Each structure stands twice: as structure tokens, then as C-alpha cells.
A and B are shown apart, each in its own frame.
Chain A
């Protein structure tokens, strides 16, 4: 039994970094078609990888030799999100502020060079890479650096990690365990997932085309997003008038397959219904859906089935308009859920939803198809959803509210 939330956590600040840029204006300009779309390049040309698959790499973001890229990206977005929320590091130090980071690459030891050294010489006295790993768990590192006194979690739920991080933060706030959460989703392009998705045969040789009849798979990418989520009274006491709130969230799992989503979309549909119940909303209240939309055959089939199934019996002629932004940023794994929730808020603010990027000929075999032309939202549009699916069968839905 899902209950409507006692209060809706408010978003007092956010920041993002992806191939679309690092500012709201840059990202919105891409959505509006005022800036060229970022283009993917072969993985082997931008990271240490033998794989030629097309990926979205943030060339403008440089890291020093030995610096862990995901953590560096997190360190780039968190201060900007705090500043946007009107917070200084001193204001959060020692406060009931927690941190939850969704990531995949950054929580696993992936230093193959060091592993090779250890494999060849088990008695090596070199430990520096392990010590660096122990000190770099993302949520723990951020909590230490900012002296946070609230709950701390690094969540690694594969490609829904970023969305689940937001849900976890909401649960922490709703339970009264803290007043404020710094929520991050972040992942770098890395040799391991690039090789892994390649061998699974789900990568596209060309820029991805979510929901298109000729879609051939996904393009991996890298990104980081940070959101400051607070109890409403906490924001009020600081004199902050939030522009957005997390109106609802829902989590479920398919219990079907370890990598492939359930083509029926049942798990995602269940998560969506939970999110609507928590939000106290109906499907018709949702102005648009920013879908996970990876561009793989099965993901898009599963999501379209879920959206169409939600509309059945709702009295609506079909599901809310939907799009995928992955043609613009790539599939950014643990970052995707957070960054795409931020994109959802930006589009709600802008009131202009682009035609689903990369979808030229919608797949007529799908029970519903994405936006094929830009949509101007009516002024009363206040709610939008963002969906995530992941290995392990995880499904996550977040509902954003634009506040008056």
C-alpha cells in the first residue's frame, strides 16, 4: 500500500555536466535546436579502450593524471548545486545534511594495470591504488570533504542508480533522518562498461535513435548531476523559494532477467503507479515523460509497453507525450537518472519539449511512439516524469513538480 507523501521534498538547487554543457542555458539551447547536437566518437579515440563503439565524451572536462574522473566530475557539480541553493560549505558543515551518490564505475575497483601487477607479483608492496580506492567512495568522500552529519550512501543500482539516489534521499528526508540531502549521479566513460555493453551486442554503430524503427542500440556517455533536496520548512526558514519539488517516486523490479528488461513493461508500470500514488496525481496530470529511451530494441519496447499500459483504462486517449534525451548526452549509466531528472526540470521550466532526438521514423511496432515534433507546454503544465531501467530488472520513476 503506497501512501501519498507527507510532504514533497523541494529542489533548492541543481547543477549538471554532460556533453550538452555545464549550464542550464547550454542544455536548453541544445533542446531548442539553437546549438548543434553533441556528436559521439569512437571509444578507442577518447579513452583507454580497444572498442570502436560511438560514445559521448566530455572533451572539455580535463582531469589530472591519477585523478579519479568520476570523483572529479562530482567535485565539479556539487559546489555549483550548493551555490544555486544559496548554501555555502560552512552552512552544511556539521548540519543534518546527508549525501547519496548513484554511480556504477566509481564504486568498483577497476584499475586493471594494478590488478595485473598484483596477479604477476602477489607479494608486491605497492598499495597506493587500493588506498586511493578506499578513500574515494564517492558519497563518503563528499561527506568527509563537506563535514556532513546526515546519512551517507553510495548506491549502485546499475543504470537506475541516479534515479534511485534521488528516491533514497527522499526516503531519508521523509523519515526525519535529516533536513537536507546532496544527491549526485555520476559516471565516467570507462573501459569496463564500454567493453561490457559491446560484448552484450547492445551498442549502436551510429548515433543512437531511441524509439526509431531503425534503432540499433545505445551510445555510452559520461555525466554528473547534483541536486539539493530539502524539507520544505528547511528551505522556508532560509527564505528560499524553490522552483521545483520531487512530487513522487516509485521503485520496482521486473524479477525477470538480469540484463534484459521485461518486454511487457510490467515492472516499470508498477513503479510508475507507485510514483503517481505517492504524488497524489493521475496519469493525465503528467505533462510529458522523459523516458530512459536507450535506443536498444528491448528497452524501448518495454518502456512503450509500460506507457501504453498505463494509459489503458485511464480514460486518456494515450500516454503523456514522451521523449528520450540520450541522443544528446549518451547513456550515462549511474548519472542518467539524476541528470535526466535535471533535464526534465529544465524542460518544465522552458515549456518547450523537443521532438525525441534521433527518432526519425517512429517504430510502428511499438504500442505508442514518442514526440515527433516540438511541443509547447500549456502554462498550467506543472508535472513531468523521468524513468529509468537497469540491469537487475530495476525500474524507477521520478515525478518533478514546477512550483508556483
Chain B
């Protein structure tokens, strides 16, 4: 991997390892998002908006182990509570894994390739390696990697089974291919996804 990190931006959790809902409410208002924009989408769009010199022609690569948990949980509740399977249309539309980068493309007018990845094994390494492949094609100069997790009862239990503390975060990295003289962006070998993200958070 030969990437150079140009800028990064985060929506970090508070001491309880959850996003501050007051902050997310304020960001929804500041960015002109609908009141009902879900927490993960608001957190990611906030981080993207605060990214220095964001390149709006850069492909968006989104990675998340568990996706938009607020929406997924709402859908599961609907399936349990309404035997006729009447789930909420917005819950469904915005629960799909690529809803977050899709929302980002709409919010910032980014008509770019979107890649949405899921997985539990070295997700961070795999998404940066894909960013490297995207940049190697030579069609674009920049790529933006987004990593995010949202907490829920299901997510907390899943993360604990993986041996980590549940945590909410949105992390955005703008990258380019490393050229002569550039510092190379590296991930220490053997560092798991969540510990690595925690090491990056401000």
C-alpha cells in the first residue's frame, strides 16, 4: 500500500463512547439535514463537512462492520410489533449498507463512485487497500475513506463477542497515492480495526 494521508476528520464519541446527541442535533441543523436524519448519517456527514479541502470528485469508500444500527433496529422492532410486516419505509431505505455514502453524495453533490464494504476481519486494512487500488487506476487523484460504527443492543453484544468495547465513531480520511517525498500512510501490522480507530480519534 502506498497511500498518503492528506486530511482526516472525526465525529468522536463522548466519555460514554456514544455520540453526543445534542451535537448531532446541532449538526443536522447546521448542515440543513432533515430532523429525521439518522445518527450515523449525521455523524458521517458532519465529519465529511469538516474535512479540510474535501475533494468532491473523490470516490467515497465506506466501511462498517454493522451498518446503520438505528435504522436496522427500528426495522427489527417493526417486524416484531406488526405481524403484517409493515416496516417503516424510511427505516428500510436508510438501513441499506450504502445509505450513508449515498446520503453523503446527495448532501455534497458528489457524483462519484461509491463503495460500501462490510466485514469483521481487518476491515480497516481492506478498505485502505481498496482505496489504493482505486487510486492506482489513475482515473482520480483523491479517494475518501469513511469508517463508522453505531451502537445498539445488538451491536454492543456483537462487538463484545469480538473482544472489544462498543464505541461510536465516524472517521473520514482523504488520501492520494504516495509520491516521492510523501509520508506513507501505514497501519501497524496486527492492529485490529477498533483499537486502531481508537488510536486515531482526537
Question: Which residues of chain A have a CB within 8 Å of any CB of chain B?
Answer: 1-3, 49-51, 104, 107-109, 112, 115-116, 118-119, 122, 127, 130-131, 133-134, 137, 139-140, 151-158, 164, 168, 171-172, 174-177, 191-196, 198-200, 251-259, 266-267, 270, 274, 390-394
Contact = CB atoms under 8 A, between A and B. Distances in A.
Contact of B97 (A104, A130, A134, A200): A104
B96 A158 contact: yes
B99 to A, nearest CB: 6
A200 B92 contact: yes
B191 to A, nearest CB: 18
A200 B157 contact: no
Interface string B94-112: 1111110111011011111
Nearest to A198: B85
A137 B99 contact: no
Contact of B109 (A157, A255, A391): A255
A115 B74 CA distance: 11
B133 interface: yes
B99 A115 contact: no
B98 A157 contact: yes
Nearest to A277: B139
Contacts of B96: 104, 156, 158, 391-392
B30 to A, nearest CB: 20
Q: Which 6 A-B pairs have the closest CB atoms?
A: A392-B102, A196-B92, A156-B97, A251-B113, A175-B136, A175-B133
B195 interface: no
A257 B106 contact: yes
Given A156-B98, A199-B89, A109 B103 contact: no
A156 B158 contact: no
Given A134-B158, A139-B119, A153-B117, A196 B111 contact: no
Given A130-B158, A391-B96, A171 B130 contact: yes
Contacts of A119: 76-77, 80, 153
A153 B161 CA distance: 22
A195 B87 contact: yes
Nearest to A333: B96
Contacts of B59: 251
B126 A254 contact: no
Contact of A157 (B89, B115, B126, B132): B115
B85 A49 contact: yes
Given A252-B112, A392-B116, 16 more contacts: A49-B85, A118-B153, A137-B120, A137-B121, A154-B117, A164-B115, A168-B133, A172-B133, A174-B133, A192-B92, A199-B89, A200-B92, A251-B114, A253-B112, A254-B105, A392-B103
A156 B118 CA distance: 7
A118 to B, nearest CB: 6
Nearest to A5: B137
Interface in B57-88: 59, 66-67, 72-73, 75-77, 79-80, 83-88
Given A134-B120, A154-B119, A253-B114, A195 B157 contact: no
Q: Most chain-B CB neighbours within 10 Å: which of A118, A153, A198, A267?
A: A153
A1 B130 CA distance: 19
B154 interface: yes
Interface of B: 59, 66-67, 72-73, 75-77, 79-80, 83-89, 92-99, 101-103, 105-106, 108-121, 126, 129-130, 132-134, 136-139, 153-154, 157-158, 161-162
A247 to B, nearest CB: 15
Given A251-B113, A258-B99, A393 B119 contact: no
Contact of B102 (A154, A199, A393): A393
A393 B109 CA distance: 11
A134 to B, nearest CB: 6
Q: Most chain-A CB neighbours within 10 Å: which of B83, B133, B162?
A: B133
A226 B55 CA distance: 35
B39 to A, nearest CB: 16
A168 B117 CA distance: 11
Nearest to A109: B154
A122 B157 CA distance: 10
Contacts of B95: 108, 196
A195 B117 CA distance: 24
Given A49-B85, A255-B111, A175 B139 contact: no
Given A130-B157, A175-B136, A157 B116 contact: yes
B80 A171 contact: no
30 contacts: A49-B85, A50-B84, A51-B85, A108-B118, A109-B154, A112-B76, A115-B73, A119-B76, A134-B120, A137-B119, A152-B126, A155-B118, A156-B116, A158-B96, A172-B130, A172-B133, A175-B137, A196-B75, A196-B87, A199-B89, A252-B111, A254-B105, A255-B105, A255-B109, A255-B110, A256-B106, A258-B99, A274-B139, A391-B93, A393-B102
